[in-house]
Amino acid sequence: MTAAVQDVNRAIDAIWRIEAPKLIAGLARRVRDVGLAEELAQDALVAALQSWPKSGVPDRPGAWLMQTAKRRAIDLFRRQKKFETIGQGIAHELEEEQMRPPDLDTALDDKIGDDLLSLIFTSCHPILSPEARTALTLRLLCGLTTDEIARAFLSPEPTVAQRIVRAKKTLAEANIPFEVPRGAELAERLESVLEVIYLVFNEGYSATSGEDLIRPQLSNEAMRLGRFLAGLATNEPEVLGLQALMEIQASRFNARVGPDGEPILLPDQNRARWDQLLIRRGLNALSRAETLLRQNGFGPGPYVIQAGIAACHARAKTSDETDWERIVALYEALGALQPSPVIELNKAVAVSMARGPAAGLEIIDALLSEPALKNYHLLPGVRADLLFKLGRMTEAKADFEKAASMSRNERERKLLLKRAAEAAA
């Protein structure tokens, strides 16, 4: 392969990452099937790989790909004898484009915002399992390959491939409309979209299993989706809240791990290594969300509240300057909105920092019988830390070891065993 062809192939890969979501979204509106839209988009990519190394990358690659995919769609519907119902409209579009040589990019972008929003809501539809929503979203909207998704979540590639195939089949069989929901359904569906984006971010921010504590690629994809969604849904405070939360959390990436990948806990992080650009972006998004809430007379939702907690950390120049009482109040507000033992556990940490380890331990001990936390390694991990601070070393050692045995992340497990050894010293 010549250097020129390699350059073109690299260009195609970069163009595909940018254009694929718009291409799939535009096709899905026309053919009314997300799975088919992806196949047509892939056909257009293959055509580009065959044509562009010889002819060069066109001036408007997105429009070229869309026109090629439309022609494939027309051929397909003619073979399936569906031309009258679906293919005719696509053919009419192509005829109009040829009659007015045009700014094809403008034509392509006419409805792209609505199309992409529809694709987000479709791929995150509650009819799908959370795992299926996540895989399909990463595939259709982030352009990740099945192999990339599998490696990111440490899942077998066939499992992920099957999950994606089933998801597309489920959407088609249920005849899920390709549209942005309206009215009361919008709030419910938006919650599902935000849940998927935050799930992806969290898996990158604190990996549940494997050798690495963090997987920045996943968090970066989630942030890209969050920024994109915030640009389309400009009047949704919770969308801005999630964007703010992810930006501020991601600002700590450089300080969260040491030279050998070992975890560095929040109080011990070098805050000079926090990314100030991401913090400013996050605080700006949070401010916009809070302004919208004031204008409409609404209280904050869970993502705005969590962004507020992250902002307390971001604004503190040192760990000792953190407004822990404010964080306790925010966790109480979050718990009132979404009662959860995990939120209570997080509140216990804040209480321990604001009022001392004994006060935090009292909350922790009340959670020991919670079924939802039975296999949650952070419960004994947090309890061990508070016991350590209270000088109850034998109990602390036992809980650190218990937490280590429950953790599936190797970096986290090693840290917990190190703390157990310190308690035994």
CA distances from 63 to 44, 70, 332, 400 (A): 11, 10, 51, 57
The pLDDT, as a whole number, for residue 102 is 47
* pLDDT tens per residue across span 240-283: 999 999 999 999 999 998 888 888 999 999 999 999 999 999 99
Q: How confident is the model at residue 87 (pLDDT cuts 50, 70, 90)?
A: low
The pLDDT, as a whole number, for residue 189 is 84
CA 176 to chain centre: 23
- For 106-141, b/e burial (b = at least 16 CB within 10 A) is ebbeeebbebbbbbbbbbbbeebeeebbbbbbbbbb
The one-letter amino acid at 389: K
Angle at 74 between CA 173 and CA 85, to 5 degrees: 55
* pLDDT tens per residue across span 8-20: 888 888 888 888 8
Q: How confident is the model at residue 89 (pLDDT cuts 50, 70, 90)?
A: low
pLDDT exceeds 60 at position 99? no
Domains, in order of start, for the chain? 3-110 (no CATH), 352-425 (1.25.40)
Q: How confident is the model at residue 377 (pLDDT cuts 50, 70, 90)?
A: very high
**Other Cβ atoms closer than 10 A to 250:** 26
pLDDT exceeds 50 at position 107? no
